[in-house]
Structure 1
Amino acid sequence: MNKNKITQSLLLGAGMVVAATSLPAFAANVPDDIKLAAKQELVRGNGTEVESLDPQKVSGVPESNVIRDLLEGLVNQDGEGNLVGGVAKSWETKDNKTWIFHLREDAKWSNGESVLASDFVYTWQRLADPKTGSPYASYLDMTTMLNAGDIINGKKSPETLGAEAIDAHTLKVTLEKPVPYFVAMTVHTSMKPVNQKAVEKFGDKWTSPENYVGNGAFQLDNWVVNERIVLKPNKYYWDNGNTVLTKVTYLPIENQVAEMNRFLAGEVDVTYEMPNEHFKRLVKQNPDDVKVTPYLCSYYYEFNTAKAPFNDEKVRKALSYAIDRDVIAKFIVGKGETPAYNFTPLATNGLDVDMPDYSTLSQKERVAKAQALLEEAGYGKSNPLEFNLLYNTSENHKKIAVAIASMWKKSLGVTAVLENQEWKSYLDSKRQGNFDVSRAGWCGDYNEASTFLAIMRDGHSQNYPKYASKSYDGLLDQALTAASDADRANAYKKSEALLAKDMPIMPIYHYVNARLVNPKLGGYPEHNPEDNIFSKDLYIIAD
């Protein structure tokens, strides 16, 4: 796996000068010997109906997939995961606290108006503003942008945020602490700009096709809820000359078998995922269609630690120990996923983890420990434990939930009542704390351990387990102010150990990204560990 070159240089620590001068954009680079198909239209499966197309009001992968085409941030990524210029053509810092970004003069919105530094100031103030209610507000606080935390908590006004338009095309960002990987953080969906005039004129309806003003390579052409989202090229995009595709369609297909069948029938070019039970057959019968790539993503279950009995560490550990992760990873999903005993994927840049003691035990020994812990917590045959297990609608998630519920029943006598909800309802239930135990997945927003570990901070907007530990938060503070990469890695190691001890979540496996891809699709990124796919870089090859 090729590591993020820019991120590697930024991780050397505070005090160095980091500059990117006239960094080239990565656009579709069609080899000279490739003949393009006459029809350049792409159809992608996208898992589910999106919650919204407002970058400050979403938190899921399906939403980010579409928004990545509609809106462009300061920087993008190429097929290897390296940072490349987006709206920013260059940037510099002397201390990793004050960052200056120089924006392209030819970057425009889909209405023909220029993209300005003030657009990013407005957007980030909107992200922090409690009135917006962004599920990703805490992400801005993670950057340590000046006053972000106080604004999110209602203590200061959004106008005090450490983002300033020096002039029309120069953006100054002031952080409270040195963050050497700050530029990599700006790739994230929540940091992408929105058009202030459109938002203020249309309110929540600014995301409808007739009102949507974006600055990405594509613009919103049609949106039929629960059916399709259709995009067309944005003629005002600064690099539109290198966009090959003339149409991109996203389909909200939740059933993986149905999606597979539509792919095999030639109706879909890229699937969102694959049905686990068909993986081996597809590898054998359709090897050219199957793409398995690295993915910085963890699959886990989270406890609602704010309610009994999951406020008891013994109950949490008992349920976690009783899961046979080898069975889940090798047989239930079985596409190359690895059993997980820690939260952060092991392939993450700069990560060094000591596996917890229970990972070295046999499954029989883990179950014995689990039984003893549950009994100590007051549960057994005379007082059996029963709770709801929430997951978002998906056959793959259902198969995993059924398998784990069976393990709990067999080894502990515990009854988990399965409850599936559509994507939007599932997200709302988690945000409102209306769950006992819930399926969860977290994919890295940038290639550094803090993108995973920070969501378990007390008060983080994505901390649905309501985990609260001053020791844990202190370790993350140490990592942020670490004098060296080694010190930072050591703080992360201790953080992972504390998560394993307190067990607010049950890591189950680390993902790979397995999907079906039309062999005629050129430019598909096979080495981007964050799975950031930009349609502007893709093209259809002639038969």
Structure 2
Amino acid sequence: MERLKNKITQAVLLSVGLTLASTSFSTFAADVPAGTQLAKVQELVRGNGAEVASLDPHKTEGVPESHVIRDLLEGLVNQDSEGNTIPGVATSWETTDNKLFTFHLRKDAKWSNGDPVTAEDFVYSFKRVVDPVTASPYAWYLEMTNMVNAKEIIEGTADKETLGIKAIDPYTLQVTLTTAVPYFVKMMGHTTVKPVHKASIEKFGDKWTKPENFVGNGAFTVANWVVNERIELVPNNYYWDNAHTVLTKVTFLPIENQVAEMNRFLSGEIDITYELPNEHYKRLAKDHAESVSIPGNLCSYYYGFNNAKAPFNDVRVRKALSYAIDRNVITKFLLGQGQKPAYFLTPEIVAGFHPQMPAYGKLTQKQRVQEAKDLLSEAGFNKQNPLKFTLLYNTSENHKKIAAAIQSMWKKSLGVDVQLENQEWKTYLDTRRQGDFDVTRAGWCGDYNEASSFLSLMQSNNSSNDPKYNSAEYDQIMNKALLSTNDQERNALYAEAEVVLAKDMPIAPIYQYVKARLVNPHVGGFPTNNAEDKIFSKDLYIKQ
């Protein structure tokens, strides 16, 4: 659907890092195209992969949570179906130096209890994220924005009240950064920087997310939540653009088994799946081509080594295991939906950045395996002393199949003895965060469309750096890159960072995602060109 030209211009300016003059926007929402026949029942059912760990945006870190929270809470900016940055609670914003940003909030934005959404709500929420008491797993995200004192507050050396954010008046928000960040506005579309209702949290504490207590400012609100069964949302009648919301109910189902999810889709119970079973892809593409959706996705799939634990603190062991993975077998035969083999962390779909293929990626698989054997032997592992460890993955048939395939590759090529261990989503996240693993399956989806959204993950101060990678060289390169406002210089530094990752191999990149799922053709407004897979139910509708 065509979008307003000034919004596209705003997104383009942001993506290339130009300084913005004062820019304002008229409100806009996705409307149903003229002539569309709507179904009598406007209820949508979505598979969501796993039971959410929380609906508190400041205490989550996963994709399943973001899918639901995106409907419940609205930040300063949103994205359209093309991935362009468009107004959310903020109708306009300006900066002259990419360090001081002023956001002008819409005066008709309300919480689901009728309270007005004000600049103070964002001040409270941002301070809550960085407050060590909150223990937000994504607190580092505020640090990555270079917001004044975010780092010091997170480390406990400064008071949260010193954060570089203030309300000029109820509808004007000002954010101050220590250094220029030309893509800062893009970063404001992330789950972590969505506002929460202060009075509800003060009254109910951690129980504020229960349906009977929930107060949000998004297009929908929580009507029912049965753990491990369903989350049901209904329209927020106080939402500023509620008149354009077509759906009357949205249900998220936590289905971890892709075959079960597929069967429920084919029987008409589900309208949009979280993904699809790899082994059924060819049949689905043939028999249900109208329902198979496979856009590119801003995500990388990798295995993380526990760099702080022997023997994975030995780069030779990490390289040997990475080299022995036949990525072509994974992408062409096990997946076969358009995924690309990955030899670097940043996916090639990232705007403006083109990673260079590292030396090991240019070798044949036979050559990589020979190098792997030599490296493992040098590290002291052989037939008499085989390497043994556990590979952790979260419960999913697709992850299980990939793990089993790589387990077989390691056994056949290197004689490595690998035990597979799966855990349900919440437990798996806790285990990874605590560093209680040898090797773990992981995936990372960009929080904004810029290479730093991936490469910052491996900085030593990033709380999501579960592999515990700690490199002064890497940190120095990334710190320099994040201070640069020159796109060419920044991308050159990002390329250097990828070279260091290939040298140190703290993780084994495996493939670049596509987002393969099933979408019923009767779902209208579904975005097929949003690299971050940001789906807003307020933009969807059911056709006859």
Please classify the TM superposition score into its range, dividing by the shorter chain length. over 0.9
**Is the Cα–Cα contact under 8 Å of residues 262 and 268 in structure 1 kept in the other structure?**
yes
Does the residue aligned with 1:232 lie in a helix, a strand or coil?
A: strand
Q: Which residue of 2 aligns with 1:10?
A: 14
The alpha-carbon deviation at position 4 of structure 1 amounts to 7.5
CA distance in 1, matches of 2:314, 2:21: 47
CA distance in 1, matches of 2:112, 2:177: 31
Q: Which residue of 2 aligns with 1:242?
A: 244
- Does residue 1:83 correspond to 2:85, yes or no? yes
CA distance in 2, matches of 1:37, 1:202: 39
- Does residue 1:459 correspond to 2:458, yes or no? no
TM-superposition CA deviations, 1:241-295 (whole Å, max 9, x none) = 0000000000000000000000000000000000000001000000101011110
- Does residue 1:480 correspond to 2:477, yes or no? no
Q: Which residue of 1 aligns with 2:365?
A: 363
The alpha-carbon deviation at position 23 of structure 1 amounts to 4.4
TM-superposition CA deviations, 1:62-94 (whole Å, max 9, x none) = 000000000000000000001111100000000
- Does residue 1:111 correspond to 2:113, yes or no? yes
Does the residue aligned with 1:397 lie in a helix, a strand or coil?
A: helix
The alpha-carbon deviation at position 156 of structure 1 amounts to 0.4
CA distance in 2, matches of 1:368, 1:471: 29
- What amino acid does structure 1 have at the position aligned with 2:14? L
Relative distance call for 1:13 and 1:257 in structure 2 (3 A) is closer
The alpha-carbon deviation at position 382 of structure 1 amounts to 1.1
Q: Which residue of 1 aligns with 2:446?
A: 444
CA distance in 2, matches of 1:263, 1:354: 40
TM-superposition CA deviations, 1:508-531 (whole Å, max 9, x none) = 000001100010000000000000
**Is the Cα–Cα contact under 8 Å of residues 219 and 235 in structure 2 kept in the other structure?**
yes
CA distance in 2, matches of 1:54, 1:211: 12
The alpha-carbon deviation at position 104 of structure 1 amounts to 0.4
TM-superposition CA deviations, 1:13-40 (whole Å, max 9, x none) = 47x3344302433x23111110111100
CA distance in 2, matches of 1:95, 1:62: 36
CA distance in 2, matches of 1:392, 1:162: 37
TM-superposition CA deviations, 1:292-327 (whole Å, max 9, x none) = 111000000001101100000000000000000000
Match of 2:292 among 286, 290, 293: 290
Give the TM-score normalised by structure 1: 0.98
Q: Which residue of 2 aligns with 1:260?
A: 262
What is the correspondence of 1:103-252 to structure 2 with a 5 Å cutoff? 103-252=105-254
- What amino acid does structure 2 have at the position aligned with 1:175? L
CA distance in 2, matches of 1:61, 1:250: 13
The alpha-carbon deviation at position 480 of structure 1 amounts to 1.8
CA distance in 1, matches of 2:226, 2:132: 30
Q: Which residue of 2 aligns with 1:338?
A: 340
- What amino acid does structure 1 have at the position aligned with 2:23? A
What is the correspondence of 1:284-433 to structure 2 with a 5 Å cutoff? 284-433=286-435
**Is the Cα–Cα contact under 8 Å of residues 219 and 234 in structure 1 kept in the other structure?**
yes
Relative distance call for 1:523 and 1:130 in structure 2 (3 A) is same
The alpha-carbon deviation at position 11 of structure 1 amounts to 4.4
Percent pairwise identity:
63
Q: Which residue of 2 aligns with 1:22?
A: 25
The alpha-carbon deviation at position 459 of structure 1 amounts to 1.9
**Is the Cα–Cα contact under 8 Å of residues 81 and 529 in structure 1 kept in the other structure?**
yes
**Is the Cα–Cα contact under 8 Å of residues 270 and 515 in structure 1 kept in the other structure?**
yes
- What amino acid does structure 1 have at the position aligned with 2:427? S
**Is the Cα–Cα contact under 8 Å of residues 24 and 84 in structure 1 kept in the other structure?**
no
- What amino acid does structure 1 have at the position aligned with 2:12? Q
Q: Which residue of 1 aligns with 2:39?
A: 37
CA distance in 1, matches of 2:170, 2:499: 47
What is the correspondence of 1:514-533 to structure 2 with a 5 Å cutoff? 514-533=516-535
Does the residue aligned with 1:241 lie in a helix, a strand or coil?
A: helix
Does the residue aligned with 1:213 lie in a helix, a strand or coil?
A: coil
CA distance in 2, matches of 1:467, 1:75: 33
Relative distance call for 1:257 and 1:101 in structure 2 (3 A) is same
**Is the Cα–Cα contact under 8 Å of residues 23 and 84 in structure 1 kept in the other structure?**
no
The alpha-carbon deviation at position 12 of structure 1 amounts to 4.1
The alpha-carbon deviation at position 5 of structure 1 amounts to 5.5
Relative distance call for 1:405 and 1:196 in structure 2 (3 A) is same
**Is the Cα–Cα contact under 8 Å of residues 323 and 369 in structure 2 kept in the other structure?**
yes
Give the TM-score normalised by structure 2: 0.98
The alpha-carbon deviation at position 200 of structure 1 amounts to 1.0
CA distance in 2, matches of 1:11, 1:46: 30
CA distance in 2, matches of 1:462, 1:309: 22
**Is the Cα–Cα contact under 8 Å of residues 181 and 485 in structure 2 kept in the other structure?**
no
- What amino acid does structure 2 have at the position aligned with 1:191? V
Gaps of 5+ in 1: none
CA distance in 1, matches of 2:20, 2:49: 42
The alpha-carbon deviation at position 182 of structure 1 amounts to 0.4
**Is the Cα–Cα contact under 8 Å of residues 17 and 183 in structure 2 kept in the other structure?**
no
- What amino acid does structure 1 have at the position aligned with 2:13? S
Relative distance call for 1:427 and 1:381 in structure 2 (3 A) is same
CA distance in 2, matches of 1:517, 1:235: 27
The alpha-carbon deviation at position 7 of structure 1 amounts to 4.3
The alpha-carbon deviation at position 481 of structure 1 amounts to 2.2
Gaps of 5+ in 2: none
